[in-house]
Amino acid sequence: MRGFPQVYRSIFAQPILLILLFSGQLVAAEKEDIIAIETKIADLISRMTVAEKIGQMTQVNGAEGSIPKRLNEAVKVGRIGSVLNEVHIETVNELQRIAVEESRLGIPLLIGRDVIHGFKTVLPIPLGQAASFDPELVRRGARMAAQEAASAGINWAFAPMIDVTRDPRWGRIAESLGEDSYLTGVLGAAMVEGFQGDDLALPGAIASCPKHFAGYGASESGRDYNTTNIPENELRNVYLPPFKAAIDAGAQTLMASFSDLNGVPATGNRFLMKQVLRDEWQFDGFVVSDWASIEQLSIHGFTANDRESAFAAFTAGVNMEMATSTYANHLPGFLEAGRVNVEQLDALVADILRVKIRLGLFENPYTDPGQFPPIANPGHLEIARQAALESIVLLENRNRVLPLNIKSIKSLAVIGPMADDPYEQLGTWIFDGDISLSQTPLQAMREFVGDQAEISHVRVMAHTRTRSREGFAEAVKAAGAADAVVMFLGEESILSGEAHSRADISLPGNQAELVNAMHETGKPVIVVIQAGRPLTLQNILDKVDAVLFAWHPGTMGGPAINDILFGVESPSGKLPATFPRMVGQVPIYYAHKKTGKPPTPETYVHIDDIPIRQKQLSSGFVSHHLDAGFTPQYAFGYGLSYTEFSYSDIGVSDNEIPMGESVTVSARVSNTGMVEADEVVQLYVRDLVGNVTRPVRELKGFERVRLKPGESRRISFVLGPEDLAFFGQEMKLITEPGEFHVWIGGSSEAVLRSQFTLINPEAQNKEI
Q: Which residues are catalytic?
A: 290
DSSP annotation of 86 reads: -
- Residues 6 or more apart in contact with residue 117 via CB below 8 angstroms: 123, 124, 125, 126, 129, 141, 145, 175, 427, 429, 430, 554
**What is the distance between the alpha carbons of residues 147 and 151, in angstroms, rounded to a whole number?**
6
CA contacts within 13 A on the Cβ side of 584 = 8
**What is the distance between the alpha carbons of residues 293 and 465, in angstroms, rounded to a whole number?**
32
- Tell me if residue 256 falls in helix, strand or coil: strand
- Residues 6 or more apart in contact with residue 322 via CB below 8 angstroms: 59, 84, 288, 289, 290, 291, 292, 293
**What is the distance between the alpha carbons of residues 439 and 15, in angstroms, rounded to a whole number?**
56
- Cα 339 → chain centroid: 39
DSSP string, 612-664: TT--GGGS--SSSBTTTBSS-SB-TT--B-SS-EEEEEEEES-SEEETTS-EE
Q: Kindly tell me the sign of the dihedral angle through the C-alpha atoms of 528, 534, 540, 541.
A: positive
Q: What is the dihedral of CA 324, 329, 335, 338, to 10 degrees?
A: -100
For 362-381, what is the HEC assignment? CCCCCCCHHHCCCCCCHHHH
- Planar angle of CA 95, 96, 98, nearest 5 degrees: 65
Pairing of strands 766-767, 733-735: antiparallel
Residue 626 in contact with residue 216, Cβ under 8 Å?
no
**What is the distance between the alpha carbons of residues 264 and 228, in angstroms, rounded to a whole number?**
10
Residue 60 in contact with residue 35, Cβ under 8 Å?
no
Task: Give the CA distances from residue 239 to residues 403, 576, 580, in Å, rounded to whole numbers and listed in that order.
Answer: 39, 16, 21
**What is the distance between the alpha carbons of residues 636 and 579, in angstroms, rounded to a whole number?**
8
Residue 664, beta-bridge partner list = 718
Total residue count of the chain as it appears in this document: 768
DSSP annotation of 124 reads: P
Task: Give the CA distances from residue 425 to residues 239, 422, 531, 561, 715, in Å, rounded to whole numbers and listed in that order.
Answer: 30, 6, 9, 11, 36
Residue 171 in contact with residue 500, Cβ under 8 Å?
yes
Residue 703, beta-bridge partner list = 681
- Planar angle of CA 240, 245, 251, nearest 5 degrees: 105
- Residues 6 or more apart in contact with residue 229 via CB below 8 angstroms: 218, 220, 262
DSSP annotation of 122 reads: B
Closest residue by Cα to residue 562 from 294, 282, 553: 553
Residue 111, beta-bridge partner list = 83
**What is the distance between the alpha carbons of residues 299 and 736, in angstroms, rounded to a whole number?**
44
